[in-house]
A and B are shown apart, each in its own frame.
Chain A
């Protein structure tokens, strides 16, 4: 009876509508929380307690010198500790550690903290070292050509030989032995980082290659290798190519080739970064569809849950394929660029 229950009914309705208005599902926050970097590794939330690993913050402020403390201290002391605090939403340095200088402005100190992505790089590199050095030890303990390896060592040998023969030897050319360690390392590092990002729980779940700084560094390594070890005929081919004079003097070809030096590693960086991040964003958005439609009623919610689970399984399988292909393409393109810079041919003079 609406009149009798008016007191309770309206209060209930106001509380529930206020709750659903104050807690809509923050999709953007969820996505950037997973993909972005942070000063703690959030694992899960059991009941009302959040389970997360606090990570060390190591900063050097120009006014007060070195500070290093665990990020849990920030939370214990109400968000500010030793003059440092996390910048609030909307500021230029949102969610990063800032301090306030004498005039009250936010200033970023020199920050070399072990953040979530840094710890993930350490874990992935450690995993890579354990796998590769463990396989290498199998070969060191036996004389050469004694017996063919079986099991995991045999599988690793197959993969390494496939990369070495199909990609490195054919793309780099005769001087492949000098560059083969770098190319194999880059292939396995990108492969392990991509695959660890698809594992949803600790120690996986952090997309290292979905961070543009990491892919920029990998592309920078290729850039340095291509240009520092480029032969003289490579540089001659860029600045004074063997083309008709009117293309060289009005400098069309040299300018195009000069920009090509920078655009090729840039494309490597963007390709790997965009492939990884788009896959992760798609999976996160599909998962948060379930929570967005939770307030729309039981029928719609269960339909969306079934659809979202199927799409997520499909996206996960596709992401595994894309992880392997992107590592292969990065290695192959780096090998091709290095091989193009190792040309030693003298352009043949055509007898007129």
Chain B
């Protein structure tokens, strides 16, 4: 508990509190993207297991859904980049 608060204070002193917020935001966005795309991949695996003949169709739809979820996560990345560079 004490170590994490000391690290946070050191990081805030080094870069400034605003930029620290940008770093934390980018990390949270990546967690969201990872969970979302992981679930899509998992259901795709289940579906291919049930019906291997449809694996081509399932693969196409999985890629499309993954691109859409990644687009949403990249909204957050763009906001964090704006905070960091402006």
Chain A residues within CB distance 8 Å of chain B: 28, 166, 267, 270-271, 273-275, 278, 325-326, 328-329, 332
Taking a contact as CB atoms under 8 Å apart, the answer to whether A271 and B63 are in contact is no
| Residue in chain A with minimal CB distance to B75 | A270
**Chain A residues within an 8 Å CB radius of B78:** 270, 273-274
Taking a contact as CB atoms under 8 Å apart, the answer to whether B75 and A275 are in contact is no
- Residues of B within 8 A of A (CB-CB), count: 13
Q: Does B64 contact A (CB under 8 A)?
A: yes
CB within 8 Å of A: which B59-86 residues: 60, 63-64, 67-68, 70-72, 74-75, 77-78, 85
Q: How many angstroms between the C-alpha atoms of A270 and B71 in the bound complex? A: 8
Q: A278-B74, A328-B64 are in contact. List 12 more A-B contacts (CB 8 A).
A: A28-B85, A270-B74, A270-B78, A271-B70, A274-B71, A274-B77, A275-B74, A326-B67, A329-B64, A329-B68, A329-B71, A332-B64
Q: How many angstroms between the C-alpha atoms of A326 and B70 in the bound complex? A: 11
Q: Closest approach, in angstroms, between the C-beta of B40 and any C-beta of chain A?
A: 14
Q: How many angstroms between the C-alpha atoms of A332 and B67 in the bound complex? A: 11
Q: How many angstroms between the C-alpha atoms of A71 and B13 in the bound complex? A: 42
Q: How many angstroms between the C-alpha atoms of A274 and B75 in the bound complex? A: 7
Taking a contact as CB atoms under 8 Å apart, the answer to whether B71 and A275 are in contact is yes
**Chain A residues within an 8 Å CB radius of B74:** 270-271, 274-275, 278
| Residue in chain B with minimal CB distance to A325 | B67
**Chain A residues within an 8 Å CB radius of B71:** 267, 270-271, 274-275, 329
Total A-B contacts with CB atoms under 8 angstroms apart: 34
30 of the cross-chain contacts (CB-CB < 8 Å) are A28-B85, A166-B60, A267-B75, A270-B71, A270-B74, A270-B75, A270-B78, A271-B67, A271-B68, A271-B70, A271-B71, A271-B74, A273-B78, A274-B71, A274-B74, A274-B75, A274-B77, A274-B78, A275-B70, A275-B71, A275-B74, A278-B74, A278-B77, A325-B63, A325-B67, A326-B67, A328-B64, A329-B64, A329-B68, A329-B71
Q: Closest approach, in angstroms, between the C-beta of A168 and any C-beta of chain B?
A: 15
Q: Closest approach, in angstroms, between the C-beta of B41 and any C-beta of chain A?
A: 15
Q: Closest approach, in angstroms, between the C-beta of A304 and any C-beta of chain B?
A: 22
Q: How many angstroms between the C-alpha atoms of A332 and B61 in the bound complex? A: 11
**Chain A residues within an 8 Å CB radius of B64:** 328-329, 332
| Residue in chain B with minimal CB distance to A272 | B71
- Most B CB atoms within 10 A — which of A267, A328, A329? A329
Q: Closest approach, in angstroms, between the C-beta of B8 and any C-beta of chain A?
A: 24
**Chain A residues within an 8 Å CB radius of B72:** 267
Q: How many angstroms between the C-alpha atoms of A274 and B68 in the bound complex? A: 12
Q: Closest approach, in angstroms, between the C-beta of A167 and any C-beta of chain B?
A: 10
Taking a contact as CB atoms under 8 Å apart, the answer to whether A329 and B77 are in contact is no
Q: Closest approach, in angstroms, between the C-beta of A105 and any C-beta of chain B?
A: 22
Q: Closest approach, in angstroms, between the C-beta of A145 and any C-beta of chain B?
A: 28
Q: Closest approach, in angstroms, between the C-beta of B17 and any C-beta of chain A?
A: 20
| Residue in chain B with minimal CB distance to A332 | B64
**Chain B residues within an 8 Å CB radius of A328:** 64
| Residue in chain A with minimal CB distance to B57 | A166
| Residue in chain B with minimal CB distance to A268 | B71
Q: Closest approach, in angstroms, between the C-beta of A166 and any C-beta of chain B?
A: 8
| Residue in chain B with minimal CB distance to A274 | B74
**Chain B residues within an 8 Å CB radius of A271:** 67-68, 70-71, 74
Q: How many angstroms between the C-alpha atoms of A47 and B23 in the bound complex? A: 38
Q: Closest approach, in angstroms, between the C-beta of B57 and any C-beta of chain A?
A: 10
- Most B CB atoms within 10 A — which of A267, A274, A278? A274
Q: Mark B36-70, 1 if CB is under 8 A from A, else 0.
A: 00000000000000000000000010011001101
**Chain A residues within an 8 Å CB radius of B60:** 166
Q: How many angstroms between the C-alpha atoms of A28 and B85 in the bound complex? A: 9
**Chain B residues within an 8 Å CB radius of A332:** 64
**Chain A residues within an 8 Å CB radius of B68:** 271, 329
**Chain B residues within an 8 Å CB radius of A28:** 85
